[in-house]
Structure 1
Amino acid sequence: MKISVRNLEPTKAKLTITIDQEEFEPYLDTARKEIAEQITVPGFRKGHVPGKLVDQRVGFGAVAGEAVNKAIPDFYSQALQTKEIRPMAQPEIEVVELPQNADDDTKLKFTATVERRPDFELPDLDGMTIEVEKAEITDEDVNNRLEALRQRFATLVGVDRPAQNGDFVNIDLDAQIDGESVDSQEGISYEIGSGTMLDGLDEALEGLSAGEETSFESTLEGGEHEGEKALVKVKVNSVKAEELPELDDDFAQEASEFDTLDELKDEIKKNIESDALGMQATKARDAFIARIEEGLEIPAPKGVKEHMIEQQLQSMGTDKDKATADQKKEAEEAVDKLLEDQMVLDALAEKMDVEVSQSDVFNFLASIAQQYGMDPNQFIQAIMRNGQIGSAVEEVARSKGLLAGMRAVSFTVDGEPLDLSEFLGSDEAEAEAAVDDNESVAAAAAAAAVADSLNASNEENA
């Protein structure tokens, strides 16, 4: 096999691959055998038709076509490895030359134009020390979490006063267009200030007491008159305020297994400290990635970037033709960051010589299946049918490379060593750790899309 490479751009290469006749011949023989299983030739059993007769019966062009379909992916993959080209998209293949008959000594020649990861050098990790911003814990953090717990045990108490923001009211609504009622509802419970119903409702309700009513104009958000302006009449049936329990020992006993409020506060502080360690690990991860990307200028493959921007805009609820300039800028910035991180982590995985096992990938996909409440085996089979297993392999490799890279450097906080062994684990535990907390990555997003599709299909068939 002869390979020549022409770099069209820093992120695009054109490979010209020429296959010697003896390398292509096994593919021709395999194609003849497969075709022989499908045709009937008098005097020969199926599958035992000589190759020359197969060529005569179906034509050498049909045989060569089958052989090319299987040969090109193999030789293309070999060429990528030989020339150390990391593709980031599917190639554009063009067959340039092909033997026309069994005696033709013309070599198979094809080109593959592919967007590739550009060349760049990662910094040496040996002796690298990274300072990490400290995750501070304050009394306010404890009070905020205690207040959230207190909210869970709040009760609603009727009040004899005008309604105000935060109150819960029971209301009747009647929407009218040109004096005719088009939608009415009674006995609706609503929290003033939540903004979960009609525009203008919050402002209309504030200051009303039980038994009082008013009207306001709003745009209907559902039904056959959706989007139309209407006069909405609202009547308040009752007003209730949220009453919070006293922060004392009785509350601690009701809300937890502790006997005193001080004990409950101590437990809350311990939980926050545990969370803070996780935040510290996240800060260390971000600082590590920022450090190895420092000074790098990595061009993004244009076609890949354009496709990802379209996907990003769709996730934002719009498309490239309707998106505003601000939306396009936001999508482009997000994609630039995602692509840079992916390329750097791919290179880091290679630098750290990580290996991805089948169990690594299956564990990764099983974790996503669990989040969606799906059978892991069914989900993994769906991923394989959708051709997305490669993305999962890449993402697991990135995660393992990131962990290995972080274990190779030192982290400090305020000049003191930061121990992240609880989060980074060891080389032996790497496979398990690699599949944790990957909901935001591209591979998981692709897998999650399959889960959504399967769930939707199940609902339609229900």
Structure 2
Amino acid sequence: MPSTVEQLSPSRAKITVEVPFADLKPHLDKAYKEIAQQVQIPGFRPGHVPASIIDQRFGPGVALEQALNEALPDLYSSAVAEHELVPLTQPEIEVTKLEVGETVEFTAEMDVRPDFMIPAFDSVEVEVDAVESTEDELEEQVKILRERFATNTEVDRAAAEGDLVTFDLKATKDGELIEGGEAEGVTYRVGAGGMVEGMDEALTGMKAGETKTFTSTLVGGPAAGQEADIEVSVTKVQEQELPEVDDDFAQMVSEFDTAEEMYDDLRQNLVRMHRVDQANAARDKVLEAVIKQIDMELPANLLAAEVEARNSQVDQELAQAGMTLKQYLAESDENEETEEEFRATLAERAAESVKAQLVLDKIAEDHDVQIEQTDLTEHLFARARANRTSPEQEMQHMLEHDHTNDWMTEIRRSKALALVVGAAVVKDSEGNVVDLKGLQADGTLAAEAADADVDLDEVEADEVEADEVEADKVEAE
């Protein structure tokens, strides 16, 4: 089966395949047999209609077209393998010559992975922040635990900093209620921050049953950025009494008998968490350093599809949030000020992502990276930790949404990157070499991945819950 390849560009190729008509005979015979089973022609039993009658009734091209549709995929795959191409998009196939009884010729045009060289892994050197776990950070974790087990007592006095205040609010402009500007039963710790400017000052000194109005700029909702009159009506003031950090407290909130043991364990877990963060930063920087050394033309169709997918995802998320892109940019910390700048940055990130995928796929191919059952198990557990679900739920989600191939590809790329990171030179900001040879495919360190999630998991959940509560308050404003 003669075939030739024309390199239209570094990332685009066209294969021309010439097929002797005799090679199509098995497919043609099968096509006639299947058609004979499907049609009803007087005088012939189903499945026994001669090929000549089928051609006479339906035209000679019907069976030939079916035969070609069945034969071309395998012929195309053989030609791709022969010329050692790596297709990245579905081929655009066209039959260019059809001489019945003699020859069939077709072309297939597709995006292909361009040729490029991977730099030596040990030539890559990056710097990450040194691991630091301050006592202030440790005390913040303990504070969260203390607040979780605090005693809240309703008091008949004016609210002060640290008190929990429950109140109703209304946001109006020129006497008219602003859309989304009304909330009831909001609970807030005075001095915690995160509310509109002036809220702490307004609540301080107020007692249950009192109402106060102040002017501020809304920070969330459809009217974000607008100045409004905020009316707060306090319904309850609670004094929060935090438990002392002693051995009894340690036994109540942890598996340890003494406060010293609890502190030591929290401190070690903070270090572990920082090391995992350091490992993830190293992965990102190593990959960035590798792709910077590689110059390639990105496949146009593949890049366009990635850009479109990212734009569609942003548009969908904005629609679900009831926001426009302009509103999002005004409220977020994004560096881009205009929609055009944002879309341009999105396209740049898409290009970086496509390039990274091509590089990691080639590394995985060159080093024959294989996926084991344990890799999938670790991936499911990592997703479950990140999404606060169970591995069984993640497995069900994978099967229901047909994510198997996508997740396998993700695992393979992660293992390829782990190879590079393990061989690269990674130093921290203090000049110390960071050993990441135990880096797993999901970005955690083999000896520490499990421990890092255990004791601080509940504390992290409390932080997330607290953040969600604060976010709800801000949105209510």
Instruction: For residue 338 of structure 1, report the CA deviation from its aligned partner.
Output: 1.4
Structure 2 equivalent of residue 343 of structure 1: 358
**Cα distance, 1:25–1:398 mapped onto 2, change above 3 Å:** farther
**Cα distance, 1:28–1:9 mapped onto 2, change above 3 Å:** same
Residue pair 1:165, 1:206 contacting (<8 A) in 2 also: no
Q: What residue identity is the alignment partner of 1:39? A: V
Superposed, 1:188-337 pairs within 5 Å as 188-191=186-189, 202=199, 205-210=202-207, 211-215=209-213, 233-317=231-315, 324-337=339-352
Structure 2 equivalent of residue 137 of structure 1: 132
Superposed, 1:67-106 pairs within 5 Å as 67-99=67-99, 103-106=100-103
SS in 2 for 1:57: helix
1: CA distance, partners of 2:64 / 2:373: 34
Instruction: For residue 181 of structure 1, report the CA deviation from its aligned partner.
Output: 8.0
Superposed, 1:411-422 pairs within 5 Å as 414=431, 418=435, 420-421=437-438
Instruction: For residue 157 of structure 1, report the CA deviation from its aligned partner.
Output: 4.0
SS in 2 for 1:400: helix
Superposed, 1:156-167 pairs within 5 Å as 156-158=152-154, 162-163=158-159, 167=163
**Cα distance, 1:71–1:407 mapped onto 2, change above 3 Å:** farther
Structure 2 equivalent of residue 400 of structure 1: 415
Instruction: For residue 346 of structure 1, report the CA deviation from its aligned partner.
Output: 0.5
**Cα distance, 1:232–1:149 mapped onto 2, change above 3 Å:** closer
2: CA distance, partners of 1:38 / 1:363: 49
Residue pair 1:366, 1:380 contacting (<8 A) in 2 also: no
For residues 408-450 of structure 1, the C-alpha deviation after alignment (integer angstroms, 9 at most, x for no partner) is: 667677565826347479xxx9xxx9xxxxxxxxxxxxxxxxx
Q: What residue identity is the alignment partner of 1:310? A: E
1: CA distance, partners of 2:185 / 2:426: 59
Q: What residue identity is the alignment partner of 2:104? A: K
2: CA distance, partners of 1:173 / 1:283: 43
TM-score (norm 2): 0.70
Gaps of 5+ in 2: 327-337, 450-477
Superposed, 1:40-51 pairs within 5 Å as 40-42=40-42, 44-51=44-51
2: CA distance, partners of 1:188 / 1:133: 42
1: CA distance, partners of 2:432 / 2:218: 58
Q: What residue identity is the alignment partner of 1:116? A: V
Structure 2 equivalent of residue 4 of structure 1: 4
**Cα distance, 1:409–1:30 mapped onto 2, change above 3 Å:** farther
Structure 1 equivalent of residue 331 of structure 2: none
Instruction: For residue 209 of structure 1, report the CA deviation from its aligned partner.
Output: 0.6
**Cα distance, 1:120–1:132 mapped onto 2, change above 3 Å:** same
2: CA distance, partners of 1:231 / 1:304: 51
Structure 2 equivalent of residue 391 of structure 1: 406
1: CA distance, partners of 2:183 / 2:399: 47
2: CA distance, partners of 1:172 / 1:361: 49
Higher relative CO (Cα under 8 Å, sequence separation at least 6) belongs to 2
Instruction: For residue 139 of structure 1, report the CA deviation from its aligned partner.
Output: 3.4
Instruction: For residue 196 of structure 1, report the CA deviation from its aligned partner.
Output: 8.0
Q: What residue identity is the alignment partner of 1:139? A: T
Residue pair 2:415, 2:441 contacting (<8 A) in 1 also: no
Q: What residue identity is the alignment partner of 1:398? A: R
Structure 2 equivalent of residue 119 of structure 1: 115
For residues 342-391 of structure 1, the C-alpha deviation after alignment (integer angstroms, 9 at most, x for no partner) is: 1110010111022457997798679869966676776455444xxx6543
Gaps of 5+ in 1: 434-462
Instruction: For residue 324 of structure 1, report the CA deviation from its aligned partner.
Output: 0.5
**Cα distance, 1:179–1:383 mapped onto 2, change above 3 Å:** closer
Residue pair 1:92, 1:114 contacting (<8 A) in 2 also: yes
Structure 2 equivalent of residue 460 of structure 1: none
Residue pair 1:130, 1:287 contacting (<8 A) in 2 also: no
Residue pair 1:209, 1:238 contacting (<8 A) in 2 also: no
Superposed, 1:25-44 pairs within 5 Å as 25-42=25-42, 44=44
Residue pair 2:279, 2:439 contacting (<8 A) in 1 also: no
Q: What residue identity is the alignment partner of 2:280? A: T
Residue pair 1:365, 1:380 contacting (<8 A) in 2 also: no
CA RMSD of aligned residues (A): 4.4
For residues 103-147 of structure 1, the C-alpha deviation after alignment (integer angstroms, 9 at most, x for no partner) is: 4424132x322222221011244x668566464133334333333
For residues 60-115 of structure 1, the C-alpha deviation after alignment (integer angstroms, 9 at most, x for no partner) is: 2111222222223222222222222222222333332334xxx4424132x32222
TM-score (norm 1): 0.72
Larger CA deviation: 265-274 vs 280-289: 280-289
1: CA distance, partners of 2:236 / 2:170: 17
**Cα distance, 1:417–1:330 mapped onto 2, change above 3 Å:** closer
For residues 296-335 of structure 1, the C-alpha deviation after alignment (integer angstroms, 9 at most, x for no partner) is: 1233223322332232233334599987123113312321
Residue pair 2:190, 2:204 contacting (<8 A) in 1 also: no
Is 2:155 the counterpart of 1:155? no
Is 2:72 the counterpart of 1:57? no
2: CA distance, partners of 1:377 / 1:36: 44
Residue pair 2:170, 2:182 contacting (<8 A) in 1 also: yes
Larger CA deviation: 411-420 vs 395-404: 411-420
Identity of matched residues, %: 33
SS in 2 for 1:353: coil
1: CA distance, partners of 2:377 / 2:244: 50
Structure 2 equivalent of residue 436 of structure 1: none
For residues 267-312 of structure 1, the C-alpha deviation after alignment (integer angstroms, 9 at most, x for no partner) is: 1122233334434543443354345334212332233223322322
Instruction: For residue 45 of structure 1, report the CA deviation from its aligned partner.
Output: 4.1
Q: What residue identity is the alignment partner of 2:306? A: M
Q: What residue identity is the alignment partner of 2:85? A: I
